Amino acid sequence: MNRGLEDPETSSVRVLAIGSSPWLQRVTAGLDPTDGTVDGPLEAASELEVGTLDGTDCVLTDEQAVLAAVGDECPTVYAVDSSDFEALDRSIIESATDVVLESTAETPSALEHRLRRAVQHAAMDDSIARRETWYETLLEQSSDLLLVTDGDGTITDVGPSVEQVSGYDAETLRGGHITETVHPEDVPTIRTEFDDLRARGAGETTTVEYRCQHANGAWYVHEADLTNRLEDDVVGGVVASVRDVTEYHQVERELDESFKRVTDAFCALDSEWAFTYINDKAASLLDVDQSAALGQPILEYFPELRGTVFQEAAADAIRTQESVSLERYYEPTDCWYDVRIYPSPSGISVYFRDVTDQIERKRQLEERTERLETLVQNAPVVLLVFDTDGTITLAEGRGLDRIDRSSDEIVGESVFDVFDGYPDILDDARTALDGDPTHSSALLNDRVFETWLRPIAADGSIERIIGTAVDVTERAQYQDALNALHDATSHLLTVESKQAACEYMVDVATDVLGLKGVVYRFDDQRNELVPAAYSQGFESAVGPPPRLQPNDSITWQTFIAGTPALFDDVRESDEIYNAATTVRSALYVPIGEHGVLVAQAPEPGRYDDETFELAQLFARTAEAALDRIGRTRRLHGRERELERQNVHLERLNEASRVRQDIEQLLLMADSRAEIERGVCDRLADLDSCSFAWLGEPDPGGNQLHTRARSGDERGYLDAVVATTVDDSAAEPTGRSALTRTPRYVENVADSIRDGTWRVEALSRNVQSVYTVPLVYDDFLYGVLSIYADDRDAFDEPLRSTLAELGETIAYAIDAVKRKTALEGGGAAVELELEFECGDEGDGTSPLCRLADHLGTTVEFEGATIRGDESPTVFAVTEDAVPADQSTGLDDLEGIDDGSVIAETETETLLQLQCSEEFLGSVVDAHGGALRTFVADQSSARAIVDIPETIEIRDVLSGLNRQGFAASMTARREQTTDKQPALDAPARNALFERLTDRQREVVQTAYHSGFFEWPRQTTGEAVADSLDISSPAFHKHVRAVEEKLFRALFDASAAGVN
């Protein structure tokens, strides 16, 4: 609330006195000529003639007839006697500008003050009335709806055309949110534009289009210009000018009444500030008892006055002995008072009135007037009034600036002269002068205006025409660009490739939006933005666009943040990376996750907000198009992947069938030949395989010989030799045999000169080869090879399956060999083998080195396998071993531990814990049995029994591959007298009754001479060699004896373990 008013002006006032009373003669004579001019007095109201009041500022009279004669022509101050005041008619008081008591007017200064105030109030009332009439007329004729909202969008003020526009009254909308009647789909747009405008600062304007529901339920399309006036002390909100509606709401129905004239309250105070007089009006205003207050200090009644401007003014008046006038707010009563203080040597006289209503009305009126002015001045419109002969009497509005005109230039001119050359506007003017309102669009100075002309009639005749014109250029241009953009982007949604889409985007940006631009696409492989397409104008203006790395440009930041950016001058931006750039104007719009649309120009201020908005709209369409292309590609990719997966599954199924067939074969086969033949047959039956064969290395391990074949190999196996060398020129089967790894040749023709086997293969239309070594327990049983007439015929599932089956097939071959040997019982072959001692890596070297160390012949006595899978060998020397030689046996290579367990004068029994695989276990693995083995310092000899069902070549080849360089010196059929007492099945049945530990214990005891008589060793010595206690040793021996005796004598105990 405004707490103070300016002091009255001191300009001269011209007063006309009318009346014949002596009082009037006396007071007019006492007025100071320097403060004003007094005419008259005239004797009576009848002396007033036409023009008498011209130049008169105020009339002073004490006759009622004068009030009626003067009327509203001039302000009137009416003086009455105090005795007549209470009896005055209300209509007489209201017909006068001011009513003053004659006693009050006796003081010249008081009278001058009342006269001057009457003139000021009359002038103010007249000015306010004219301005109210002016604004009411303008807004009543305007078809725009003006709204004011606070920062949250709550409507605080509503323009008068609200009912014409929406059907709602102002009170219904006021206090509600601006989006309450907006279509739900348009609410996000309104909120976004509103928040953006609020953040952009004072004076900024934006235009938004939306659907709004009328009170009758129908939807209308409105366009609103929003202006940010939040920081304006008068408006304090966002101004919305809504167009394209049917009619305006009425302006305020009526303004508050002008300041009411009230009579004065009066009180007198002595020099001690005590009441000496209080009139009835003062008693009423002060709410005191007149009789009780007299003689009492005023500060006792009203302590709140202490220290206020009222007390200070009274003190100043007493001190200076000059009258003081003031209008101030008094907080205890929440009222405004007009106070005049007249000092005297004995005290002060105080005249005061409660002017709270007047002050409040004045403040409200000023605020409303300023608000209306602000609304008109900030709306992009032209308000025009012209009379019946076409003379323009009023021209206001911000729209005048857009046609390079000002109000001063066109006011007073003829509308037909000002708009000469615009026939459409002149036709509308003539139509309006004929009494018909118009609504049309017109082009003025390249600006498009939407215009309304409304005739104002009185008494059946046209008095004036009120016109409103709204600049809709940007909206029209925007709509044209939007239509063109819609037509152009329709094709974009049909483009099939992202590159073609980028090129088309550049064309549309150039032709429709007028942008010299470039489309950057994000390369996720290199993590950079690549210029996919750009216009020729862009290159000529700012140069060819470069590739952009992370965090080195505004373009990259726009892509990462996903936020569009517009710069009138990038050099003035805090985000600039290259201060020396020639680019000034720049526009950056992200295209989702695909890239950025960039437009640049060497001059500042090149791009406006609407272009920026259209570019964003276009980018969203482009993003949808690129998303569609990406989805289509991904869909096709998924389809191809599904096809690939289906093929892969079919191949997995085929590989699985191959595995099942071969595994079934391995379970059912009774011989190695059946296994080898069956595997080749099943692989040759595959659609991808032409033929298959299985080769086994010869005893020397230098080449492979065919053991089984199947399919149409067309003489290939007879034409090539599979040598075991690791050379790219060697046949893959031989390389696999040497390296013991699978080999795959996808295309035999890749290196046709790399080996003669390729020529032989291609001449037989062999295009691809896959080989798998058959290895089990580190022994190579052969190599399985398959061939195809197509390149890369064997897929990964089949190759993996065969690679895994390689060991399984080798294991099956090994198993049937062992089974044949164990179930043999038939004829056997005795082989006499000879070994050279002394070569590093020779498998016989531990016993040879022992013989060399002892200087005597060493003979194999027996062997057993301990729990840790290491072989324990028992050996006998022909001579006694000196004590100094029996120590240190564990220093010999291949022997971890050695000890003497029995000794006579002619021989010594040794127990050797070997770290290398012994000859006996290798022979046993091939189904044979080592009968004797004798080694001296230079050579070794062995006799091996081999079942007749076992290939001797397999045994010799296996020994050589295991590092035993054996040569066969004799081969004899084993006679019946040399057959063991127990055949192999019976011996194996007995062994199955024993645990591994029991077998180890009794074998060690047997070979140590524990069961001979006399015993060659003690149980304690055998137990020490086994690292067990003596009672444990004897327990194991008794358990074995019991099982053997039961097996011999008690048939019912056959199952005892």
Give the pLDDT confidence of 798-833 residue by residue, as tens digits: 999 999 999 999 889 888 877 766 565 556 788 888
Residue 595 lies in a domain: yes
Residue 940 lies in a domain: yes
pLDDT of residue 254: 34
pLDDT at 117 over 70: yes
201 vs 350: which has the higher pLDDT: 350
pLDDT range class, residue 431, cuts 50, 70, 90? very high
Q: What is the separation of C-alpha 256 from the centre of its chain, rounded to a whole number of angstroms?
A: 57
- Same domain as 392, residue 449: yes
User: Among 1-15, 350-364, 868-882, where is mean pLDDT lowest?
Assistant: 1-15
Domain closes at, from 765, 784, 817:
817
- Same domain as 883, residue 873: yes
pLDDT range class, residue 786, cuts 50, 70, 90? very high
Domain closes at, from 817, 837, 860:
817
- Same domain as 121, residue 51: yes
pLDDT at 432 over 80: yes
Letter for the amino acid at 548?
Answer: L
Residue 660 lies in a domain: no
Cα radius of gyration (the chain): 62
Average pLDDT over every residue of 420-441: 90
pLDDT at 375 over 70: no
Q: Is 740 helix (H, G, I), strand (E, B) or coil?
A: coil
Residue 641 lies in a domain: no
What residues contact residue 525 under an 8 Å CB cut-off, 6+ apart? none
pLDDT at 1054 over 50: no
pLDDT of residue 765: 93
Asked if residue 162 lies in contact with residue 145, where contact means CB atoms within 8 angstroms, the answer is yes
Rounded to 5°, the CA angle 321-327-333 comes to: 115
Residue 252 lies in a domain: no
pLDDT range class, residue 8, cuts 50, 70, 90? very low
What residues contact residue 131 under an 8 Å CB cut-off, 6+ apart? 369
- Same domain as 125, residue 157: no
* Other CB atoms within 10 A of residue 117 CB: 19
Nearest Cα neighbor of 833 from 948, 930, 950 is: 930
pLDDT of residue 429: 92
pLDDT range class, residue 246, cuts 50, 70, 90? very low
Total domains present in the chain: 8
Residue 650 lies in a domain: no
Q: What is the CATH number for 1031? A: 1.10.10
pLDDT at 980 over 90: no
Asked if residue 566 lies in contact with residue 556, where contact means CB atoms within 8 angstroms, the answer is no
* Residue 171, strand partner residues: none
pLDDT of residue 820: 67
Average pLDDT over every residue of 851-855: 80
Distance CA 462, CA 371 (A): 30
Domain closes at, from 575, 610, 635:
635
Residue 34 lies in a domain: yes
Average pLDDT over every residue of 327-343: 89
Distance CA 158, CA 153 (A): 13
Average pLDDT over every residue of 1010-1018: 81
- Residue by residue, DSSP assigns 583-650 as --EEEEEEETTTEEEEEEESSSS---HHHHHHHHHHHHHHHHHHHHHHHHHHHHHHHHHHHHHHHHHH
- Same domain as 997, residue 856: no
pLDDT range class, residue 258, cuts 50, 70, 90? very low
Mean pLDDT of the chain: 81
What residues contact residue 743 under an 8 Å CB cut-off, 6+ apart? 732, 735, 736, 769, 770, 771
Distance CA 848, CA 850 (A): 5
pLDDT range class, residue 250, cuts 50, 70, 90? very low
Number of H helices, E strands in the chain: 35, 38
Task: Show the domain range for 507.
Answer: 476-635
Burial class for 463, CB neighbours closer than 10 Å (0-12, 13-18, 19+): exposed
| CA dihedral over 121, 122, 123, 124, signed as positive or negative | positive
Q: Is 329 helix (H, G, I), strand (E, B) or coil?
A: strand
DSSP state of 144: -
pLDDT range class, residue 248, cuts 50, 70, 90? very low
140 vs 930: which has the higher pLDDT: 930
243 vs 666: which has the higher pLDDT: 666
pLDDT of residue 979: 56
Residue 1021 lies in a domain: yes
User: Among 256-265, 354-363, 444-453, 872-881, where is mean pLDDT lowest?
Assistant: 256-265
Q: What is the pLDDT of residues 35-74, one digit of tens each?
A: 667 777 787 777 777 777 877 888 888 888 888 888 878 8
Angle between helical axes of 609-668 and 796-822 (0-180°, round to 10): 20
Nearest Cα neighbor of 142 from 248, 299, 52, 13 is: 248
Q: Is 245 helix (H, G, I), strand (E, B) or coil?
A: coil
Q: What is the CATH number for 722? A: 3.30.450.40
* Other CB atoms within 10 A of residue 826 CB: 10
Q: What is the separation of C-alpha 265 from the centre of its chain, rounded to a whole number of angstroms?
A: 74
- Same domain as 918, residue 869: yes
- Same domain as 975, residue 868: yes
Average pLDDT over every residue of 11-36: 78
- Same domain as 867, residue 848: yes
pLDDT range class, residue 439, cuts 50, 70, 90? very high
- Same domain as 832, residue 968: yes
Distance CA 167, CA 249 (A): 9
* Other CB atoms within 10 A of residue 866 CB: 15
pLDDT range class, residue 1006, cuts 50, 70, 90? confident
For residue 812, what are the CA distances in angstroms to 166, 346, 676, 805? 95, 142, 10, 10
pLDDT at 621 over 70: yes
Q: What is the CATH number for 212? A: 3.30.450.20
User: Residue 996: phi, psi to the nearest 5?
Assistant: -60, -40
pLDDT of residue 430: 92
- Same domain as 345, residue 270: yes
Asked if residue 297 lies in contact with residue 274, where contact means CB atoms within 8 angstroms, the answer is yes
Asked if residue 268 lies in contact with residue 275, where contact means CB atoms within 8 angstroms, the answer is yes
- Same domain as 971, residue 849: yes
- Same domain as 762, residue 675: yes
